[in-house]
Structure 1
Amino acid sequence: MSAEPSQALRDGRYVITRALGEGAQGHTLEAVDKRVGKLVAIKRFQIRGASSWKGVELAEREARVLASLAHPSLPAYIDHFEEDGALYLVMEKIDGESLGAMRRRRAVLGRDEIVRFLRDASGVLDYLHGRAPPVIHRDIKPNNVIRRPDGSFAIVDFGAVRDRLRPEGGSTVVGTFGYMAPEQFQGRALPASDVYAVGATALCLLTGEEPENLPHRGLAIDVPAALGGRADPRLVRALSAMLEPDPDRRAARIAPLLAELG
């Protein structure tokens, strides 16, 4: 059960204004932070009666990881607390429209907007993957990318994040079909898995089609066929490198590809 509009949390500090969305890990709410007079986003995870401790573990991990991050293209951590059998994670509310919402109204992005998205995503991934140990988002997709009013892009929702490498295996399969790199189906999420997800998101917004509906050659999305003969060949090469099924052959970073795109 989600919080109702006008409900107050944290001794009245946060006043819920509306629901923003619902995911596998919990509800996302909009609220006013009365202390600073700004809108914030709050994720609510039901702990009491939770069907699995895995969901609680992911919620606690998301709060811990977000609290350790500081990047202009990521939501800033504000607070987290437990109240009435639920865990609440409070973060900056990023203004703009999600790429998922754009998809639902059948909008597509042009080449220059896609290059801007790749540039912003490159900065985020270099920051996350450069931490020790690397932070792997594991669920980059249109719903988790917001285009701000100034045209820049932010990546949100760290509900699937992993911040500890598990070389012995046994990791849970987390992600979204179509945007997950093949190795994620084996429970092996790598930094290159996020590169794949960014490429799949970019291709989806260029074509207006979900990745699984695009032409394939074997396990690989056929990027030239998906984009057609009029596409910029440099962009075709960049996205093909990001969407290589074999993580050992896939582009490990987006930044070197941007140099070619100009």
Structure 2
Amino acid sequence: MTGKILAERYEVQRQLGKQTGRQTLLARDLQTQELVVIKQLFLGGDFEWQDLKLFEREAETLKSLSYPSIPRYLDYLEIDEPDSKGFALVQTYVEGKTLEEHLRSGRTFSESEVKQLAKSLLEILIYLHEEQEQPVIHRDIKPSNILLHSRSAHTVGQVYLVDFGSVQNQAAKFGGTITVVGTYGYMAPEQFGGRSVPASDLYGLGATLIYLVTGLHPTELSQQDLKIQFADRVSHLNPSLIDWLGWMTEPSLEKRLSSAGEAWLSLKNPRPIHKSPMVVQQPPGSDIKLTKNSEFIEIVIPPQGIGFGLIALLSAAVPASIFLLPGVFSAYISTYNSEINHQFMLISGSFFLGAVGVIFLFAIFRKLRLRIDRQQISYSSHLLGLRWNNSKAAPRPDICQLEIEEIKSLMPDKRPELYKVSQMIIQTGHQKYRLGVKQGLSESEIEWLATELSQWLGLKIQRTLTDGKKNKWF
């Protein structure tokens, strides 16, 4: 292959890459003496018309682009030789190494270099997405498609985005057939459904930068609700950069940065990051179930069980029932007045035992569930398959305050520093949702749950000291 002349003009120097039905060559243009890259698509047994469609789209796209960081279109050829038939795209040659090659050779990137690289690539995407008559979506941004030229010890050098073989423009988007293209791990979730938008390229860029800062491909990192979990591996980075990378790779289009311009500005001017002043772990021995993700937070409080108070109540209920219930046996042999008295005793005893039974049933089987999602807050009880609302549901945006109310010590003169947590209150416009000692929560559990809710809601915990006469904010 070396030394072969294509189209009587391009002398092959060496092969740069090869795939089934394709190859990429480095050649010299004999007219200009410049090095060029030739991408070839062969008509063979593995040929598909969709491959030709993408190949021609790449050529047409490069022909319409003019940007220093994108290879320039030079020529388009038909190959008609005895041993090969197909098409060839000729473009300018960019000398340099890909990000993939840099990382495999052991090179690392500082936080400053990562930001330089991000800004350079975002400027390319601003050109592709926002400065064309029809937005051009690359659809395959990954480490092997990004070249660095003249990298020094303090700068990443000139950044190039190459390989537009998966490109999609707005006209092609509505052309009929939808093709799923991209590289697993760097493809935004919507691309698996054949949908690509400018924000899809932002996901690929974010995933690429995550590879740079962790040294691991996104497929090698764990996921939660399709979101790449990488923050625990890059604690040395500025929290604002970690937040930005997470924002770029949000699985949901609605939550992801929507444009390259917006991403560039948010990298330069990071959004505020809410930080909780303390981290509170679930107390040891607590049976409360807490479920929290980006869509909802749910607290399930198990049945309180039979405590000392219920045992004392049962101890009192048994003798009382022995005294009251015998009236049923004497009711038939007594005078009229006695019969009324016995019936009254019977009803009273039955009601008393029934009430005690209900209390025990609630203690053994009733669960409480507080749930807040993006739409509303609800608070309900669940008992043996039955469900009822403890409070009326309220719209999520109405939540305006999170409060821990504390009650003053019963012995203020002897222990004035001693306070007992009474309850946590979630305040909406006209409603309060309360969780506390009445629901069987300990002080440490209330503190833990309040901290979790504070972080999820983005609300500061207000604390109220109550002495039975007035409230004091502090």
TM-score by length of 1: 0.92
> What pairs up with 1:1-262 in 2 under 5 angstroms?
4-11=1-8, 13-23=9-19, 26-84=22-80, 85-130=85-130, 131-150=132-151, 151-163=157-169, 164=171, 166=173, 170-227=177-234, 229-252=235-258, 253=260, 254-260=263-269
Match of 2:275 in 1: none
The whole-number CA distance in structure 1 between the counterparts of 2:137 and 2:44 is 28
Deviations 1:141-160 (A, max 9, x none): 11100011141211000011
Deviations 1:93-139 (A, max 9, x none): 11110112123324332212111111111111111111232111010
Q: Which amino acid aligns with 2:267?
A: L
The whole-number CA distance in structure 1 between the counterparts of 2:19 and 2:143 is 14
Contact 2:40 2:89 in 1 (8 A): yes
Contact 2:66 2:72 in 1 (8 A): yes
Deviation at 1:167, TM superposition (A): 5.4
Contact 2:21 2:43 in 1 (8 A): no
Point out the more displaced range, 17-26 or 182-191: 17-26
The alignment yields a C-alpha RMSD, in angstroms, of: 1.8
Deviation at 1:168, TM superposition (A): 8.6
Deviation at 1:169, TM superposition (A): 7.3
**Partner of 2:257: helix, strand, or coil?**
coil
The whole-number CA distance in structure 2 between the counterparts of 1:116 and 1:26 is 34
Contact 1:66 1:77 in 2 (8 A): yes
Q: 1:67 to 1:25 in 2, by over 3 A?
A: farther
Q: Which structure would you say has the larger Rg?
A: 2
The whole-number CA distance in structure 2 between the counterparts of 1:223 and 1:210 is 11
The whole-number CA distance in structure 2 between the counterparts of 1:232 and 1:22 is 40
Contact 2:214 2:230 in 1 (8 A): no
The whole-number CA distance in structure 1 between the counterparts of 2:203 and 2:21 is 23
Deviation at 1:213, TM superposition (A): 1.2
Q: 1:24 to 1:104 in 2, by over 3 A?
A: farther
Point out the more displaced range, 197-206 or 161-170: 161-170
Contact 2:138 2:168 in 1 (8 A): yes
Q: Which amino acid aligns with 2:35?
A: L
Deviations 1:181-204 (A, max 9, x none): 000011111110000001111110
The whole-number CA distance in structure 1 between the counterparts of 2:125 and 2:186 is 16
Q: Structure 1 stretches (4+) deviating beyond 6 angstroms?
A: none
TM-score by length of 2: 0.52
Contact 2:3 2:12 in 1 (8 A): yes
Contact 1:63 1:80 in 2 (8 A): yes
Deviation at 1:24, TM superposition (A): 6.1
Contact 1:169 1:187 in 2 (8 A): no
Contact 2:14 2:26 in 1 (8 A): yes
The whole-number CA distance in structure 2 between the counterparts of 1:24 and 1:137 is 22
Contact 1:25 1:55 in 2 (8 A): no
Deviation at 1:140, TM superposition (A): 0.7
The whole-number CA distance in structure 2 between the counterparts of 1:25 and 1:144 is 20
Larger relative contact order (CA 8 Å, sep ≥ 6): 1
Q: How many residues align?
A: 256
Q: 1:148 to 1:136 in 2, by over 3 A?
A: same
